[in-house]
Chain A
Amino acid sequence: MRHKNLDLLLVLSIAVGNVAWVLLSTYRYPNLASFTVISTILALPLVFITPGYAIIETLFPHRALETLQRWTFILAVSLALAILSGFLLNQFPAGLRPLPWATWLALITAFFTLLASLRRGSPLAPVPPAGAGQPRSTRVRISEIALLGIATLVIVLSVVYSVLGAQRQPHPGFTNLWIVPTTQAGNTCAVSVGMQSFERAPLTYRVVITTNNVQTASWDRISLAPDQQWQQTKILPVGNTVPALVVLVQVYRLDQPQTVYRHVDVTLYVTTPQGSTVKHCSYQ
């Protein structure tokens, strides 16, 4: 390529770089996937700029479009190409995965980059008169750049500030309590009981399990820090005559011992299949 095609070379490099990065991070070095800064820097131009740039440079060589119009065309064509490509890739078994995407967009970019370079070199391509449709060059002063830089910094800080504010937004604390039947081998029923604290401070709880109104288990002091979880599997004895086990779990806070803080319940059905003496515990 000649010197005048440096922009096309850059576009092509971005496309090839994306394919290489996806190949390496998918098949060779999976740890690379955690370097999202690099993959983002590579991916954003591939989605929003390079295919559109190559296509627009092919259709409108020699800067036939004024600068603002050209970049608007590039963005629109890139977005449209991504949308329509999605329908195309959906037809293939590989689907809309990183490698098909990178390969397809890179192929499109490479194809139109080649065409664009050919059209640029074509003697038939119309060459507009010098300066036609182009804005006059403007010299940006250092003070202006500095002000724009400060403005950008303030904008970034504003967003970061709001992110921090949202993360630290006070919410009322709560505790999750749950009960889930679990499959147990043999002549037993079992439930898994769990609790997770999202309170704003450590709390101590008392947990009581009753089966058919009979207390079958209890834990008197369970201390949970915020985000800490507690889980137990409780095996329940199956009686000979009881067709169902109603399991009730109640949680009390030690600072409010008389009030049920959380409660969950589940009914387990005890059945004996025909021709068998082994009892089965079914949930539904």
Chain B
Amino acid sequence: MQPCPNCGNQLPAGATFCARCGQHLTPMGGATPPIQQMLSRSPLPQPSSRNRGGAANRPAATVQTIERPPRPRPGNRAEVYTDGSFMLYKKTQLAGSPATRNRPGPVARPTRKHRPTLVGKLFTPLFTHAGDPEAEKPARPRPQPTGLGWLPVIALTSALGLFTTATAFNAARENMPATELYFWLGLVLFYLPPVVRLLLPHPSRMERAGLLVVLTLCLYLTKVELSPLYFNHYDEMLHWRSVNDIMSVGHLFTPNMLLPVSPVYPGLEIVTSTVSNLSGLDTFQSGLIVLAMSGLLMIFSLFLMFELLTGSARVASIAAAIYMTNPHFLTFDSQFAYESLALPLATFAMFAMVRYETLNNGRIWVMLTAWFVMAAMILTHHVTNFLFEVMFLLWSTIYLFIGTLPLRRSVVVPTVIAGFTLTVGSILLIGNVVITYLASIIIDISNQVQRALNSSGSSSRPLFSSVQPTPIWDRGLTLGAVALITLAIPFVLLCFWQRYRRNPLLWVFALFITSYPVLQILRFTSGGAEASSRSSAFVFIPVGLLLAIAIVQFWPVRSLNWRKTAMLSVAMLVLFMGGIVLGESAPASFLPGPYQAGADGRSIDPEGIQAALWTRQYLGPDNYMYSDRIGQLLLGVYGDQQLVTQLGSHIEEVEVIFDPQVTSYEISLLQKGRIHYLAIDMRMSQQLPQNGYYIEQGEPGTGSYTKPLDPALLTKFDTVPQINRLFDSGNIAIYDTGVLIHAPQKP
């Protein structure tokens, strides 16, 4: 036994820290954490430099206790060192609890560098907790948990939560009030109970994995309930068209004018068409199954990777639950788009690499499996590939300095080489479609950021939509979620430094988490906001793990009680709910309901679908058409038409709609784009666009509409004799401009 030098608590021989006050101990029993030494500077009047230097050189200083220290608070005691410096002890430290009152008093530290100062007192507990190697050790040893635990009960509450969200959505479809409240209630019902359980130390690994499955499925099915009959997100429709092309042609790489890069990264479309071909299900049902499998792969890969990195199923499960709070997890990451499949594949590849580095059995096959899956990921989504390549490159660079294995035995560097080889090879085979596509996006975002920084105001955007008012509590949740993560970053990094700085991958994660505040600044530009949102799926991998580590370190198991558990659960709930508002805007804007202009899912209604179906039946497929944002999707997917877009044809056609008259200039635009038909939705003249624009981002008035379009802009085609109005459904009219585009072109 040995006494703690700080509080006098009796400790077993060989203890590394005091369980009462958290004081770190050296193997010899002294308290000498190096980081503590750096911070242990006296804020009080300093002795002369001569004395200070002398004290520092002395191996052991003599301690003198005086009755009246310079300015002690009542009841405190000051210890003055022979070199003139001194240390204040609080009354509580002197008195201690009744149990410790009779124990030996505080032992003055033998050298000056160990004296706790005001700064030291503030930071010592932080450093102590952050570096606590036994944060997960319970106060009393418990038997290893087994079985399902509370999983069945929590599965039932989660199912009830899912039913509540279904009720909210159906009520929203009927345009009933207070649906947002039911929606949040449903989410709380299926997020909070699993999170509370995951925070506790009792559940077995099996129960934790089960809770994560329940949580993942409930979140995924919430997205399905939003639109259970067809894909209704913008990106989903783009990929839906690519699947339809594969199904009808039987081969890959059919051009898709809505998203030209989609056919050259057909991973998701291949798997979906395979399921559809073999099962006989339609594209929508097949896509839902593929996405469910992708979601499970994602969450299992994360859980297993985090578990290997931290050695704790508890940390891993909390980290995975925090990952689910990322703003795009609810809808974007589970939508029918290539990233939804590529991200799980990439995460799996990373997990396999971590497993190679961590465990010894079957390593060569693990490496080959990682490469095999990585190759599939490279052919599925470009941005996911590039971001993970950067992550792997950073990992290998750091590995060169602090790698735990000899370089020749590590998987990291060979994987980076293999990844880059496959990436370059695929780009050379595919062509420069992806380079052009990404370059245009990056240039657009950088220009907007630059303009926003120059305060021109033209490209800056409000944080919350001005078209659909965001309630104050939703704004509070959003800001709270961002603030929680941003404010936690220093503490998170402290934990990383204290516990995991020998792990190269954790170094990469620590670097990535510092980008989180920067990414939030991008939200003040219209293009950057999308980039910021889309990056959350990647950034939250480190955010989830490092936050979970910080939670476990600062709220160790031995001191965990119901208050702390409740507080942590509420904090995670704020992250979750705030993330949803941040990623999807206020629920009122994405819950089902009546038609809204320029609102993606809310803009898809039977009238638009029937108009698109009519074009396929009466005009035939593959006509060149021009329409608003939603019309493009519907005509492309349901009508099998070729839609002329700026992304696909690189021609700005918006003037055709926005110019007040059809002059030779507009006719020349029609001729350039070979636009045979125009589909005009009159609702553009009745409602403001929820997304900030009607046709394409960058159109006049993007993000700053104060009133809908002038109806005359949309009806001007009725006055041109050469333009035929072939179809009229009330809101949608389809015009035939074939006569104009077949006329001789004017220079």
CB <8 Å contact, A22 and B278 = yes
B246 interfacial contact with A, CB 8 Å: yes
The stretch of B194-202, B222-230, B433-441 that contacts the partner chain: B222-230
Question: In angstroms, how far is the closest chain A Cβ from the Cβ of B109?
Answer: 47
Known: A68-B209, A68-B304, A177-B728. A40 touches B279 (CB 8 A): yes
B177 interfacial contact with A, CB 8 Å: no
Quick one: which of B158, B170, B204, B279 contacts A162, CB cutoff 8 A?
A: B170
CB <8 Å contact, A43 and B279 = yes
Question: In angstroms, how far is the closest chain A Cβ from the Cβ of B281?
Answer: 6
Across the interface, name the chain B residue whose C-beta is closest to A164: B170
Across the interface, name the chain A residue whose C-beta is closest to B361: A64
A111 interfacial contact with B, CB 8 Å: no
Bound-state Cα–Cα, A234 to B376, Å: 57
CB <8 Å contact, A171 and B605 = yes
A163 interfacial contact with B, CB 8 Å: yes
For window 281-304 of B, CB contacts with A under 8 Å fall at 281, 289, 293-294, 296-297, 300-301, 303-304
Quick one: which of A40, A71, A94, A246 contacts B281, CB cutoff 8 A?
A: A40
B531 interfacial contact with A, CB 8 Å: no
Bound-state Cα–Cα, A6 to B606, Å: 51
Contact flags (1/0) for B5-16 with A, using CB distance below 8 Å?
A: 000000000000
Known: A161-B163, A169-B592. A80 touches B375 (CB 8 A): yes
CB <8 Å contact, B278 and A43 = yes
Known: A65-B362, A82-B274, A96-B251. A36 touches B279 (CB 8 A): yes
Contact flags (1/0) for A3-45 with B, using CB distance below 8 Å?
A: 0000000000000001000100000000001111001101110
Bound-state Cα–Cα, A265 to B720, Å: 11
A1 interfacial contact with B, CB 8 Å: no
Quick one: which of A72, A96, A196 contacts B273, CB cutoff 8 A?
A: A96
Q: Which residues of A contact B296 (CB under 8 A)?
A: 75
B411 interfacial contact with A, CB 8 Å: no
Bound-state Cα–Cα, A196 to B606, Å: 13
B655 interfacial contact with A, CB 8 Å: no
Question: In angstroms, how far is the closest chain B Cβ from the Cβ of A188?
Answer: 19
Contact flags (1/0) for B55-89 with A, using CB distance below 8 Å?
A: 00000000000000000000000000000000000
Bound-state Cα–Cα, A165 to B304, Å: 38
Question: In angstroms, how far is the closest chain B Cβ from the Cβ of A128?
Answer: 8
Quick one: which of A68, A82, A159 contacts B270, CB cutoff 8 A?
A: A82
A121 interfacial contact with B, CB 8 Å: no
CB <8 Å contact, A60 and B300 = no
CB <8 Å contact, A47 and B278 = yes
For window 331-369 of B, CB contacts with A under 8 Å fall at 341, 344-345, 348, 351-352, 355, 361-362, 365, 368-369
Bound-state Cα–Cα, A177 to B732, Å: 11
CB <8 Å contact, A262 and B730 = yes
Question: In angstroms, how far is the closest chain A Cβ from the Cβ of B72?
Answer: 58
CB <8 Å contact, B351 and A72 = yes
A-B contact count (CB 8 A): 283
Size class of the contact patch on chain A: 35 or more
For window 599-613 of B, CB contacts with A under 8 Å fall at 605-607, 610-611
B135 interfacial contact with A, CB 8 Å: no
CB <8 Å contact, A18 and B156 = no
CB <8 Å contact, A83 and B376 = yes
Q: Which residues of A contact B727 (CB under 8 A)?
A: 176-178, 264
Known: A76-B297, A83-B376, A171-B606. A265 touches B725 (CB 8 A): yes
B618 interfacial contact with A, CB 8 Å: yes
CB <8 Å contact, A140 and B147 = yes
Q: How many residues of chain B are within 8 Å of chain A by beta carbon?
A: 105
Bound-state Cα–Cα, A172 to B595, Å: 9
B372 interfacial contact with A, CB 8 Å: yes
Q: Which residues of B contact A139 (CB under 8 A)?
A: 147
Q: Which residues of B contact A97 (CB under 8 A)?
A: 250, 277
Known: A90-B252, A95-B250, A139-B147. A169 touches B173 (CB 8 A): yes
Bound-state Cα–Cα, A101 to B280, Å: 13
The stretch of A150-158, A209-217, A271-279 that contacts the partner chain: A150-158
Bound-state Cα–Cα, A36 to B166, Å: 26
Bound-state Cα–Cα, A71 to B266, Å: 25
CB <8 Å contact, B726 and A135 = no
A230 interfacial contact with B, CB 8 Å: no
Q: Which residues of B contact A152 (CB under 8 A)?
A: 159
Bound-state Cα–Cα, A80 to B729, Å: 45
CB <8 Å contact, A147 and B728 = no
Across the interface, name the chain B residue whose C-beta is closest to A84: B376
A77 interfacial contact with B, CB 8 Å: yes
B738 interfacial contact with A, CB 8 Å: yes
Bound-state Cα–Cα, A86 to B380, Å: 12
B638 interfacial contact with A, CB 8 Å: no
Across the interface, name the chain A residue whose C-beta is closest to B149: A144
A170 interfacial contact with B, CB 8 Å: yes
Quick one: which of B166, B206, B592, B722 contacts A158, CB cutoff 8 A?
A: B166
Question: In angstroms, how far is the closest chain B Cβ from the Cβ of A69?
Answer: 6
Bound-state Cα–Cα, A75 to B292, Å: 12
Known: A59-B365, A155-B221, A157-B163. A175 touches B730 (CB 8 A): yes
CB <8 Å contact, B250 and A162 = no
Bound-state Cα–Cα, A72 to B271, Å: 17
CB <8 Å contact, A178 and B348 = no
Known: A79-B376, A83-B379, A155-B162. A72 touches B738 (CB 8 A): no
Nearest 4 A-B pairs (CB), nearest first?
A86-B270, A165-B170, A147-B152, A95-B250
Q: List 19 A-B contacts (CB under 8 A).
A: A22-B278, A36-B279, A44-B289, A72-B304, A76-B344, A79-B297, A79-B344, A83-B379, A83-B380, A96-B246, A96-B250, A96-B252, A98-B278, A147-B155, A150-B156, A151-B159, A158-B165, A161-B170, A162-B225
